């Protein structure tokens, strides 16, 4: 089975030396995993080390070694190399300069020789925090689940709900994807995204906003669409945990501003009063906001969905082009359908994929959430384990 290691993509330079022999590349690849740590730096060109530190390289080498054991051999492939380890394999690409020093390096998905769902779940349970998993085949058969009814904080994955409501409105009303919304100052948010840097008054189609909301998790696009749809329309069918349904800019102000008095006032208010407070925030500037690295009120100020809800939601959106732009933890070239939306903040990590290998194959919705109120989630480890889960279910 294969695992996508996010941090394994280091640098792949276009400065490929055509005079370097393949045997030399294979030898250098092998040295990366066999050389003494204090000599690792000598394998890399200065230009590479300006972009990636030796410490980062060491960490990645150690991660592969911990998961796969010692490297045994290296085989040439059509587009690079296959590294054969004791416990599995991993693809790699490398570029050397005239001095046989590394100027470009990439490690891809690794494949474990033996793996199963029970082992993956056991490893996931070792991560601090509360875990929820839902794997549903063709929106009918629950293939695998753990705590899948529990509504947890999901970060930006809530934007799937906004997208679904947008499709419902356009289907029911006399509206078109080409309809235009102008950016408004009151809906300018903070990153992720790009629209927060665009001038107010810029016209954008509904399709442009929805594409940015999902593919880049653009918060400003999201807040404009929430306004377009109407907060109470979006709240229809949601649990009380999500009332009132927050815009992202409101989320940032309430949760990460230095105004603790405002925060406590909101948390202690009833629903009616909370709506009044949110109305007062519409013109407030996004100043003195710091997200930090530690979890903050993830059980009180967030968006809450179960993994089963998210799995069924992304399946309902299987025809939506927005979910297919960013494939998440998989290589979209290996799938007929690769849909994705994820979310994160300190203490919250969420991955939801919709995957189909071929046009006639089954469609799998795979959703995983981790919440930790005590410490940030190890996103790198969680991504590795989620990729193992994907591979065990549908293959990478």
Q: Is the pLDDT of residue 25 over 80?
A: yes
Residue 303 phi/psi, 5-degree rounding, is: -120, 135
310-350 pLDDT, tens per residue?
999 999 999 999 999 999 999 898 899 999 999 999 999 99
232-267 pLDDT, tens per residue?
999 999 999 999 999 999 999 999 999 999 999 999
Q: What is the DSSP letter of 242?
A: G
Q: Is the pLDDT of residue 36 over 60?
A: yes
Are residues 371 and 152 in contact, defined by beta-carbon separation less than 8 angstroms? yes
Choose between 394 and 314: higher pLDDT: 314
With a pLDDT cut of 90, the percent of the chain lying above it is: 79
Confidence grade of residue 10 (pLDDT, cut at 50, 70, 90): very low
Its pTM surpasses 0.75: yes
186-237 pLDDT, tens per residue?
999 999 999 999 999 999 999 999 999 999 999 999 999 999 999 999 999 9
Q: What is the DSSP letter of 103?
A: E
- The dihedral of CA 318, 324, 328, 329: what is its sign? positive
Q: Is the pLDDT of residue 175 over 60?
A: yes
Q: Is the pLDDT of residue 74 over 60?
A: yes
Find tokens 């179960």 and name the residue: 306
Residues forming beta bridges with residue 180, ordered by sequence position: 205
Interval 387-396 mean pLDDT: 85
Confidence grade of residue 115 (pLDDT, cut at 50, 70, 90): confident
What is the rounded CA–CA span in Å between residue 245 and residue 236?
10
Choose between 175 and 301: higher pLDDT: 301
Q: What pLDDT sits at residue 395?
A: 67
Q: What pLDDT sits at residue 5?
A: 43
Q: What pLDDT sits at residue 384?
A: 87
Q: Which two tokens stand for residue 47?
A: 């230009």
Q: What pLDDT sits at residue 111?
A: 76
Q: What is the DSSP string of 170-198?
A: HHHTT--TT-EEE--GGG---SSSSGGGS
Q: Is the pLDDT of residue 20 over 60?
A: no
Q: What pLDDT sits at residue 108?
A: 81
Residues 6+ apart with CB under 8 A from 368: 124, 131, 132, 133, 134, 307, 350, 351, 352, 382, 386, 389
Find tokens 């594409």 and name the residue: 211
Q: What domains can you pick out in the chain, each with its CATH number?
A: 2-112 (3.10.450), 117-154+303-393 (3.40.710.10), 174-281 (3.40.710.10)
> Hey, which of 30-39, 57-66, 68-77, 156-165 has the most confident mean pLDDT?
156-165
Q: What pLDDT sits at residue 15?
A: 37
Arithmetic mean of pLDDT over the chain: 92
């Amino acid at each position: 089975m294969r695992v996508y290691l996010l941090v394994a993509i280091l640098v792949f330079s276009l400065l490929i030396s055509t005079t370097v022999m393949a045997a030399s590349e294979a030898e250098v690849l092998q040295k990366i995993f066999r050389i003494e740590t204090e000599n690792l730096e000598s394998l890399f060109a200065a230009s590479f080390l300006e972009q990636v530190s030796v410490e980062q390289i060491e960490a990645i080498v150690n991660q592969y070694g911990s998961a796969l054991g010692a490297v045994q051999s290296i085989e040439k492939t059509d587009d690079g190399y296959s590294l054969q380890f004791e416990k599995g394999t991993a693809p790699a690409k490398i570029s050397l300069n005239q001095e046989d020093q590394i100027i470009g390096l990439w490690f891809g998905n690794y494949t474990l020789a033996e793996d199963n769902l029970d082992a993956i779940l056991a490893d996931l349970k070792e991560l601090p925090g509360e875990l929820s998993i839902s794997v549903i085949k063709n929106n009918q058969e629950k293939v695998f689940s753990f705590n899948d009814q529990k509504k947890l904080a999901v970060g930006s994955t809530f934007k799937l709900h906004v997208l679904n409501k947008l499709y419902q409105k356009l289907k029911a009303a006399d509206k078109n994807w080409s309809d235009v919304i102008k950016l408004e100052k009151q809906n300018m948010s903070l990153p992720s995204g790009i629209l927060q840097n665009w001038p107010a008054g810029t016209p954008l189609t509904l399709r442009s906003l929805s594409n940015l909301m999902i593919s880049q998790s653009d918060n400003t696009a999201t807040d404009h669409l929430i306004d377009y749809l109407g907060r109470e329309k979006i709240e229809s069918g949601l649990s009380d945990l999500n009332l009132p349904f927050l815009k992202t800019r409101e989320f940032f102000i309430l949760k990460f501003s230095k105004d603790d008095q405002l925060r406590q006032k909101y948390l202690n208010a009833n629903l009616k009063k909370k709506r009044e407070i949110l109305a007062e925030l519409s013109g407030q500037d996004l100043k003195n906001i710091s997200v930090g690295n530690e979890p903050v009120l993830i059980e009180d100020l967030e968006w809450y969905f179960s993994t089963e809800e998210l799995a069924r939601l992304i399946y309902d959106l299987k025809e939506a082009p927005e979910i297919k732009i960013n494939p998440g933890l998989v290589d979209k070239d290996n799938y007929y359908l690769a849909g994705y939306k994820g979310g994160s903040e300190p203490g919250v990590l969420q991955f939801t994929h919709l995957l189909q290998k071929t046009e006639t194959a089954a469609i799998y919705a795979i959703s995983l959430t981790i919440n930790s109120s005590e410490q940030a989630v190890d996103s790198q480890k969680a991504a590795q384990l989620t990729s193992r889960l994907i591979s065990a279910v549908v293959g990478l």
